[in-house]
């Protein structure tokens, strides 16, 4: 068999084509890499997502200690800044003694369910000769709610309760005998008794950064 020889100009031509192909491939690869680095998704990931901070700002609304719509206010909290008529309605008369009401009294002709105003832990359940059955609940943010004059109690000390959970039923006591069926409710914040009317149906800030 005869060997065929390549013509002199063939090898240089092939060499040039190979070099051009390599250069073209390299340029395309660099282009692709640059396109990936500058893609919108890459930009969003490196800016918006990385700079986003978690927002912790939850609020809870304090509810009334009852759900029955027939319930009304029988006695107000005694407020030194209130008008004389409101203050007069905030005086308790018992055993020939006048006392300032340290809470609010909710009344109804019918016995009604008494519910927790917030999630919390039952810290005390007792029966008092003057105040009737009493429940104390500790909540977050150093809130303590007190429910007195109950005829029935459905929780015990140490129970975890949820907002709106039935704690017992309204009743009567010796201190406010003239009011008949009612609930005496008190609210404490950081150990100080406050006017419940200023907190019921209001938002309670529970965010970790509420002081910021």
> Is pLDDT of 210 > 50?
no
> Is pLDDT of 173 > 70?
yes
CA distance 133 to 25: 88
Q: Which pLDDT belongs to residue 52?
A: 55
Q: Which pLDDT belongs to residue 99?
A: 84
**Tens-place pLDDT, residues 38-79:** 445 444 445 444 555 555 556 789 999 999 999 999 999 988
Task: Write the CA distances from 12 to 3, 7, 18, 115, integer angstroms.
Answer: 20, 10, 10, 96
**Tens-place pLDDT, residues 149-167:** 999 999 999 999 999 999 9
């Amino acid at each position: 068999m005869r060997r065929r020889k390549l013509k002199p100009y063939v090898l240089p031509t092939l060499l040039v084509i190979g070099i051009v192909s390599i250069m073209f491939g390299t340029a395309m690869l660099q282009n692709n890499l640059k396109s990936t680095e500058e893609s919108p998704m890459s930009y969003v990931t490196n800016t918006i997502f990385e700079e986003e901070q978690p927002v912790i700002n939850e609020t809870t609304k304090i509810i009334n200690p009852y759900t029955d719509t027939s319930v009304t206010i029988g006695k107000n909290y005694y407020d030194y800044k209130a008008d004389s008529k409101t203050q007069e309605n905030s005086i308790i008369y018992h055993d020939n003694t006048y006392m300032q009401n340290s809470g609010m009294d909710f009344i109804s002709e019918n016995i009604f369910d008494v519910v927790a105003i917030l999630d919390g832990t039952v810290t005390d359940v007792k029966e008092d000769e003057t105040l009737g059955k009493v429940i104390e609940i500790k909540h977050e943010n150093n809130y303590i709610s007190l429910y007195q004059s109950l005829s029935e109690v459905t929780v015990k000390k140490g129970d975890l309760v949820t907002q709106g959970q039935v704690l017992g039923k309204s009743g009567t006591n010796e201190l406010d005998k003239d009011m008949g069926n009612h609930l005496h409710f008190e609210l404490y914040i950081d150990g100080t008794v406050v006017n419940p009317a200023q907190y019921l149906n209001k938002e309670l800030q529970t965010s970790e950064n509420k002081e910021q």
